[in-house]
């Protein structure tokens, strides 16, 4: 805006920051702010603080006015045991930094270490993140939402028996299992810079879940899985599809490949629900990332996926430069509701100075890593993917079972405790 025409501070604050210009699906936002204070350690790259930055931006842009907003409860032990091993969950429940010495076999057995440390409140934190994804999956399953967002979720490395890659409870697997109760086929799409190994492994033998992961792969980069010939096994053979990429891929290369592959996967597999993991470590300049993506390109993948009109969960994941993580997930929240955001960040947000020196929602993030993705490499990769998709002649048929009655996610003990608390407050 020119200097000759300006609003006073009060009027400026009242101006709409998110303009929704078209019809859009019903969107819900699932976030429990109790996940914010947890701390992996001063030198650990995972910072739950990024969730607070995202929440502040979403609220200050007014995006909450265009969504249903939920504060979900943590996942119960019984819900986590739908996928995870009981000994492992028992360990997470009981262990603390001061009692770790009482579990001499745990470090090796449950993969505890620098990547997956034990910190105060670990089980509570992991359960809060998983609970938000389960809540989102219930809203999709019972058709309350067409898009359900949980930025605290997307923890795709956790395995059935162990922690991995900063992830302890695999909220994605739990959510997909929930969706499978009402949806015959679920497509999982992962645009984190790291391979979605935990989700792929969980459904490697299933033809009801197809996993599609775009990631850096060279045989060494964590988790050192996700090569082209990992395609599934038994009933799930050909239902795992991996897109291994080299360092420094650009916006145009990534979005072009994404759109071409996803279109073919949707045509072949015909899912009735999609779970999209939007790891922000695929952005340029990420502390652990090696790609050159800008925020708009990453969000273009969300926009394109949304355009097919298939019910969709949108989850977080990696992302280790918190200010860029919050920018991305705020922008992608706007994409989900069909809104346009002012690229100048609201000046009244907490930690405004943290976003300097540009104070923009859309900073330039590309060009920081040498691009090793040659045209020939990408064309050969694309051709190999199309060849693998030829094996999917038609979507697998599914025999439906009776839909369970508990899709609202109510837990009898929890409901009774809430009711008792409400009655006490009225006395």
Name the residues annotated as catalytic.
157
Residue 114 assigned to a binding site:
no
| Nearest-angstrom CA–CA distance, 218 and 224 | 7
Residue 391 assigned to a binding site:
no
Is residue 131 within 8 Å of residue 82, measured between CB atoms? Answer: no
| CA dihedral sign of residues 282, 121, 418, 174 | positive
Residue 406 assigned to a binding site:
no
Q: What is the DSSP letter of 314?
A: E
Tokens, residue 281:
């470590």
Is residue 232 within 8 Å of residue 209, measured between CB atoms? Answer: no
CB neighbour class for 277 (10 Å; exposed up to 12, middle 13-18, buried from 19): buried
- Secondary structure (DSSP) of 115-162: SS---TTHHHHHHHHHHHHHHHHHHHHTTS-SEEEETT---TT--SSS
Which residues contact residue 118 at a Cβ distance below 8 angstroms, ignoring those fewer than 6 apart? 95, 96, 97, 100, 112
Residue 87 assigned to a binding site:
no
Give SS3 for 349.
coil
Which residues contact residue 165 at a Cβ distance below 8 angstroms, ignoring those fewer than 6 apart? 115, 116, 156, 157, 158, 194, 198, 222, 223
Tokens, residue 341:
């955001």
Residue 221 assigned to a binding site:
no
Residue 195 assigned to a binding site:
no
Is residue 298 within 8 Å of residue 193, measured between CB atoms? Answer: no
- Binding annotation for a divalent metal cation: 192, 194, 281
- Binding annotation: 115, 165, 192, 194, 281, 320
- Binding annotation for substrate: 115, 165, 320
């Amino acid at each position: 805006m020119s200097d000759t025409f300006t609003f006073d501070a009060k009027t400026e604050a009242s101006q709409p920051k998110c303009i929704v210009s078209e019809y859009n699906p019903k969107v819900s936002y699932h976030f429990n702010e109790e996940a914010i204070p947890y701390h992996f350690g001063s030198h650990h790259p995972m910072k739950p603080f990024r969730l607070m930055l995202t929440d502040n931006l979403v609220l200050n842009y007014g995006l909450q006015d265009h969504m249903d907003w939920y504060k979900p409860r943590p996942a119960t032990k019984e819900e986590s045991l739908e996928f995870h091993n009981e000994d492992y969950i028992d360990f997470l429940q009981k262990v603390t930094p001061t009692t770790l010495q009482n579990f001499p076999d745990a470090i090796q057995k449950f993969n505890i270490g620098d990547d997956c440390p034990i910190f105060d409140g670990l089980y509570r934190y992991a359960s809060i993140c998983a609970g938000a994804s389960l809540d989102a999956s219930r809203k999709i399953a019972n058709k309350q939402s067409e898009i359900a967002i949980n930025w605290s979720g997307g923890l795709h490395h956790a395995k059935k028996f162990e922690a991995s890659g900063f992830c302890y409870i695999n909220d994605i697997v739990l959510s997909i299992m929930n969706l499978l109760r009402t949806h015959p086929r679920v497509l999982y799409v992962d645009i984190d810079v790291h391979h979605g190994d935990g989700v792929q492994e969980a459904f490697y033998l299933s033809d009801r879940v197809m996993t599609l992961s775009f990631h850096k792969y060279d045989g060494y980069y964590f988790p050192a899985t996700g090569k082209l010939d990992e395609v599934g096994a038994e009933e799930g053979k050909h239902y795992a599809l991996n897109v291994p990429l080299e360092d420094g891929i650009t916006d145009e290369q990534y979005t072009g490949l994404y759109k071409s592959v996803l279109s073919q996967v949707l045509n072949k597999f015909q899912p009735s629900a999609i779970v999209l993991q939007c790891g922000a470590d695929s952005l340029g300049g990420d502390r652990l990332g090696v790609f050159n993506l800008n925020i708009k390109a990453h969000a273009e993948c969300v926009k394109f996926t949304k355009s097919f009109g298939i019910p969709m969960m949108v989850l977080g994941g990696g992302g280790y430069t918190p200010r860029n993580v919050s920018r991305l997930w705020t922008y992608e929240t706007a994409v989900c509701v069909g809104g346009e955001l002012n690229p100048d960040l609201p000046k009244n947000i907490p930690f405004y100075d943290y976003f300097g020196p540009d104070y923009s929602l859309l900073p330039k993030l590309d060009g920081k890593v040498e691009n090793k993705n040659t045209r020939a490499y990408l064309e050969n990769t694309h051709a190999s993917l199309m060849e693998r998709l030829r094996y999917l002649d038609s979507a697998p048929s599914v025999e439906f079972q009776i839909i369970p009655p508990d899709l609202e996610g109510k837990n009898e003990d929890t409901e009774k405790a809430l009711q008792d608390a409400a009655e006490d407050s009225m006395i």
